[in-house]
Every structure is written in C-alpha cells, then in structure tokens.
Amino acid sequence: DTGVSQNPRHKITKRGQNVTFRCDPISEHNRLYWYRQTLGQGPEFLTYFQNEAQLEKSRLLSDRFSAERPKGSFSTLEIQRTEQGDSAMYLCASSLQGRQPQHFGDGTRLSIL
Amino acid sequence: AQKVTQAQTEISVVEKEDVTLDCVYETRDTTYYLFWYKQPPSGELVFLIRRNSFDEQNEISGRYSWNFQKSTSSFNFTITASQVVDSAVYFCALSEAQGGGADGLTFGKGTHLIIQP
C-alpha cells in the first residue's frame, strides 16, 4: 500500500493556460475524489468516481474543469483557461467504497501568475 | 444542506495540557457519518476517526478521545497530555448517507492547534 500519489506537487502557470493534474489512488480502492483547498479553509468537494463512472459533481466545478478516470485506476483533473481564482491546493482521495474513510494524497498546489 | 462549524480558529496550549476541539454539524439526514482529520505542516490530511450517526459511544484511542452527542449535534475531539507533535490543523467533516452531496465530505474550516514546549 503506497498511498495516494499526486503529480505534480506544484504547478505554476500563467492565467489563461490549461493545466492537468494526475492522481493515482490506493490500488484496491474503487472510489476516487477530488477536492480543492484554499488557504485557511477546509477542503471543498469537487467530484468523485466509482471505478470509471463520475457520479457526482459539485456546483464548484465550472465548465472549465473536467475530470476523468478512464480505466478506473488513475484520474486526471484538467482546468482550461485558468483564472486567478483557481489558485489553490487540489487534493485527491480514495476509499474502498462509499462512506468509508477517505485517504488523501499530498495534493497539487496550483499558482496562477 | 449540510454544514460543519469549528468555531475555534486557533488554540494554543502548553505541552502536557489537555485540549478539546469543538465540532458542531447540521444535517437533515438521519443517517450520516462524521470524521476527524489531521493536517500537519507537511500538508497531507491524515484520517483519525469515523463515526456513524447510530453509534453514540465515545471512543478512546491512546491520548485521543471523541465525544459524540446527537442531542447537541456535536462531535468533539479531546487530546490528553498534548505533545508538540500534535501541532496541526484539525478538521471535522460530515458525509450524509442520502443527501444530494452524495459521497463527498463537507469539512469545517479547521482548528489550528499549537502545542508550545
């Protein structure tokens, strides 16, 4: 059990650029979640997958955000046309099934110049 | 709609003191789950405990204990004989079993706990 892995750890980009983050969950976990955390706040739920199916999307997830989990293993989160307000820590978590403890990765810190 | 309130933004105590972190939640579901997570300076969220709404027994794990009271919608966390390594931000979180938020956790804003040597 190597834990949840996220890449990259840090991403700095100019406003308007597209960025993509990757999350590798714990191998036997069926559920994968994405959260966003800004300074001084708790994580905010964005979306989650049961295997390859995206089952829920928060209203925080604007049309510029898209997430995939093509083979039910790793997931990617893409942000198109980044804006200043997208600067945050993006956290990935996984769990065996619903309502079970979610185990988090170290996150990807996004900074928009 | 579900909500978690952690009214204590920051707590500072001297090592070996006991400290209690408060968590108050709101939900319309009768079935729900409560969690506590620790976020040390390194940043990774560490799972501490999960409680379901039907289990009101208090739990103790080493120096950690949790007091769940449905009557006051609270799920408080106590650290006994605090240590410097306990310094972190602690988050309380809620997941409804049947709510529109499905499986995502709703977090409070966190309590920054500082243990001074």
What are the chain A neighbours of B102 within 8 Å (beta carbons)?
Answer: 48, 55-56
Number of neighbours of residue A15 by Cβ within 10 angstroms:
12
| Residues B46, B20: Cα–Cα separation, whole Å | 18
Strand arrangement, sheet containing A75-79:
A5-7, A19-24, A75-79, A65-68
Q: Residue A100, Cα to own-chain centre: how many angstroms?
A: 18
Give the residue on A whose Cα is nearest the Cα of B108. Answer: A42
3-state secondary structure of A84: helix
pLDDT at residue A1, as a whole number: 55
Cβ-based burial of B50 (10 A; exposed 0-12, middle 13-18, buried ≥19) = middle
Q: Does A100 touch chain B (CB under 8 A)?
A: yes
Q: Does B102 touch chain A (CB under 8 A)?
A: yes
pLDDT at residue B58, as a whole number: 86
Nearest to B102 among A46, A55, A103 (CB): A55
Give residue A50's region: left, alpha or beta (phi > 0; psi -120 to 50).
beta
pLDDT at residue B100, as a whole number: 43
Contact yes or no for A14/A113 (Cβ under 8 A): yes
Sequence-distant (6+) residues with CB within 8 A of A20 are: A76, A77, A78, A79
Contact yes or no for A94/A32 (Cβ under 8 A): yes
Total CB pairs under 8 A between chain A and B: 66
Q: Where are the alpha helices (DSSP H) in B1-116?
A: none
Q: Does B106 touch chain A (CB under 8 A)?
A: yes
| Band of residue B98 on the pLDDT scale cut at 50, 70, 90 | low
Q: Do B91 and A45 make contact, defined as CB atoms within 8 angstroms?
A: no
pLDDT at residue A108, as a whole number: 97
| Residues B56, B97: Cα–Cα separation, whole Å | 17
Residue written as tokens 């307000």?
Answer: A85
Q: Do A33 and B104 make contact, defined as CB atoms within 8 angstroms?
A: yes
- In eight-state DSSP terms, residue B29 is -
pLDDT tens column, B27-37: 988 889 999 99
Report whether pLDDT(B102) > 90. no
pLDDT tens column, B42-80: 889 999 999 989 888 888 899 999 999 999 999 999 999
Give the residue on B whose Cα is nearest the Cα of A43. Answer: B107
Q: Do B103 and A89 make contact, defined as CB atoms within 8 angstroms?
A: no
Q: Mutate which of A4, A32, A45, A92 to test chain B, going by most B C-beta atoms within 10 A?
A: A45
Q: Which residues, given as ranges, of chain A have pLDDT below 70? A: 1
Question: Which token pair is B74?
Answer: 């609270």
Contact yes or no for B59/B69 (Cβ under 8 A): no
